[in-house]
Chain A
Amino acid sequence: MGVSEVQQTNLTSEKAKWMYQKMAEIRRFEDQVHETFSKGVLPGFVHLYAGEEAVAVGVCAHLDDKDSITSTHRGHGHCIAKGCDLKGMMAELYGKSTGLCRGKGGSMHIADVEKGMLGANGIVGGGFPLATGAALTAKLKKSGGVAVCFFGDGANNHGTFHEGINMAAIWDLPVVFVAENNGYAEATPFEYASSCENIAERAASYGIPGETVDGKDAMAVYDAAERAVARARAGKGPSLIECKTYRNYGHFEGDAQTYKPESEKKEHLTELDAIILFRQFVLQNGLASEDDLHVVDENVKKEIEEAVSFAEESPLPEVKELTTDVYVSYKE
Chain B
Amino acid sequence: MGRVITFSDALNEAMKQAMRKNEDVILLGEDVAGGAEVDHLQNEDAWGGVMGVTKGLIQEFGKDRVLDTPIAEAGYVGAAVSAAATGMRPIAELMFNDFIGSCLDEVMNQGAKLRYMFGGKAKIPLTIRTMHGAGFRAAAQHSQSLYGLFTAIPGVKVVVPSTPADAKGMLIASIEDDDLTVFFEDKTLYNMKGEVDEEYYSIPIGKADIKRQGEDLTIVAIGKQVHTALEAAEQLVKKGIETEVVDPRSLSPLDEETILQSVMKTSRLIVIDEANPRCNAATDISAMVADKGFDYLDAPIKMITAPHCPVPFSPALEDVYLPTPEKVLEVVSELIDDDSSIAM
Given contacts A43-B137, A123-B99, A192-B68, are A322 and B46 in contact (CB under 8 A)? no
Least CB distance, B123 to chain A, in whole angstroms: 27
User: Across the interface, do A323 and B314 meet the contact criterion of CB distance under 8 Å?
Assistant: no
Specify which chain A residues have a CB less than 8 angstroms from the CB of B321 in the assembled complex: 322
Does B37 belong to the interface (CB within 8 Å)? yes
- CB-CB contacts of B71-82 with A at 8 A, as 1s and 0s? 111110000000
User: Across the interface, do A155 and B46 meet the contact criterion of CB distance under 8 Å?
Assistant: no
Specify which chain A residues have a CB less than 8 angstroms from the CB of B99 in the assembled complex: 123
Q: Which of B75, B137, B308, B309 contacts A106 (CB 8 A)?
A: B137
User: Across the interface, do B140 and A187 meet the contact criterion of CB distance under 8 Å?
Assistant: no
Chain A residue nearest to B36 (CB atoms) is: A192
| Docked CA distance A109–B102 (Å) | 18
| Docked CA distance A189–B310 (Å) | 33
Specify which chain A residues have a CB less than 8 angstroms from the CB of B279 in the assembled complex: none
Seen from chain B, the residues whose Cβ lies within 8 Å of a Cβ on chain A are 30-31, 34-41, 46-47, 50, 68-75, 98-99, 101-102, 136-142, 307-310, 312-317, 320-321
| Docked CA distance A326–B311 (Å) | 11
9-residue interface stretch from A22-30, A211-219, A313-321: A313-321
Given contacts A187-B47, A194-B70, are A319 and B34 in contact (CB under 8 A)? no
User: Across the interface, do B102 and A159 meet the contact criterion of CB distance under 8 Å?
Assistant: yes
Least CB distance, A264 to chain B, in whole angstroms: 10
User: Across the interface, do A193 and B309 meet the contact criterion of CB distance under 8 Å?
Assistant: no
| Docked CA distance A223–B251 (Å) | 56
Specify which chain B residues have a CB less than 8 angstroms from the CB of A157 in the assembled complex: 70-72, 75
User: Across the interface, do B31 and A319 meet the contact criterion of CB distance under 8 Å?
Assistant: no
Please list the 8 inter-chain residue pairs (A to B) with the smallest Cβ-Cβ separation, ordered nearest first. A106-B313, A122-B141, A95-B314, A187-B34, A259-B35, A103-B314, A43-B137, A44-B137
Most chain B beta-carbon contacts within 10 A, residue among A158, A191, A259, A261: A259
Q: Which of A159, A257, A322 contacts B74 (CB 8 A)?
A: A159
Does A105 belong to the interface (CB within 8 Å)? yes
Question: Which chain A residues numbered 126 to 164 have a C-beta less than 8 Å away from chain B?
Answer: 154-155, 157-160
User: Across the interface, do B315 and A43 meet the contact criterion of CB distance under 8 Å?
Assistant: yes
User: Across the interface, do A186 and B139 meet the contact criterion of CB distance under 8 Å?
Assistant: no
User: Across the interface, do A109 and B75 meet the contact criterion of CB distance under 8 Å?
Assistant: no
Chain B residue nearest to A102 (CB atoms) is: B314
| Docked CA distance A258–B317 (Å) | 35
Chain B residue nearest to A315 (CB atoms) is: B316
Main secondary structure of the interface of B (DSSP, over half): loop
User: Across the interface, do A125 and B40 meet the contact criterion of CB distance under 8 Å?
Assistant: no
User: Across the interface, do B308 and A326 meet the contact criterion of CB distance under 8 Å?
Assistant: yes
Least CB distance, A218 to chain B, in whole angstroms: 27
| Docked CA distance A101–B310 (Å) | 14
Chain A residue nearest to B136 (CB atoms) is: A44
Does A268 belong to the interface (CB within 8 Å)? no
Q: Which of A123, A158, A186, A256 contacts B72 (CB 8 A)?
A: A158
Least CB distance, B47 to chain A, in whole angstroms: 5
Give 14 CB contacts A-B under 8 Å.
A97-B314, A103-B312, A103-B317, A104-B317, A106-B313, A109-B313, A122-B98, A122-B141, A158-B70, A159-B72, A159-B74, A187-B46, A193-B70, A259-B38
User: Across the interface, do B308 and A316 meet the contact criterion of CB distance under 8 Å?
Assistant: no
User: Across the interface, do B71 and A317 meet the contact criterion of CB distance under 8 Å?
Assistant: no
Most chain A beta-carbon contacts within 10 A, residue among B75, B140, B317: B317
Q: Which of B34, B138, B310, B316 contacts A188 (CB 8 A)?
A: B34
User: Across the interface, do A104 and B313 meet the contact criterion of CB distance under 8 Å?
Assistant: yes
| Docked CA distance A319–B307 (Å) | 12
Chain B residue nearest to A160 (CB atoms) is: B102
Least CB distance, A36 to chain B, in whole angstroms: 14
User: Across the interface, do A188 and B35 meet the contact criterion of CB distance under 8 Å?
Assistant: yes
Most chain A beta-carbon contacts within 10 A, residue among B31, B101, B313, B321: B313
Q: Which of A103, A104, A123, A186 contacts B30 (CB 8 A)?
A: A186
Specify which chain B residues have a CB less than 8 angstroms from the CB of A188 in the assembled complex: 30-31, 34-36, 68, 70
Least CB distance, B101 to chain A, in whole angstroms: 7
| Docked CA distance A192–B41 (Å) | 13
Chain B residue nearest to A257 (CB atoms) is: B46
User: Across the interface, do A259 and B46 meet the contact criterion of CB distance under 8 Å?
Assistant: yes
Most chain A beta-carbon contacts within 10 A, residue among B35, B37, B136: B35
User: Across the interface, do A122 and B71 meet the contact criterion of CB distance under 8 Å?
Assistant: no
User: Across the interface, do A317 and B140 meet the contact criterion of CB distance under 8 Å?
Assistant: no
| Docked CA distance A104–B46 (Å) | 32
- Please give 16 more A-B residue pairs, beta carbons under 8 A apart, in addition to A43-B313, A44-B136, A258-B41: A95-B317, A101-B313, A103-B317, A108-B313, A122-B139, A123-B99, A157-B70, A157-B75, A185-B70, A185-B71, A186-B50, A187-B35, A192-B36, A258-B35, A259-B46, A322-B307
| Docked CA distance A103–B320 (Å) | 14
| Docked CA distance A259–B74 (Å) | 26
User: Across the interface, do A158 and B71 meet the contact criterion of CB distance under 8 Å?
Assistant: yes
Least CB distance, A175 to chain B, in whole angstroms: 21
| Docked CA distance A186–B142 (Å) | 16
| Docked CA distance A187–B137 (Å) | 22
Chain B residue nearest to A155 (CB atoms) is: B71
Specify which chain B residues have a CB less than 8 angstroms from the CB of A192 in the assembled complex: 36-37, 68
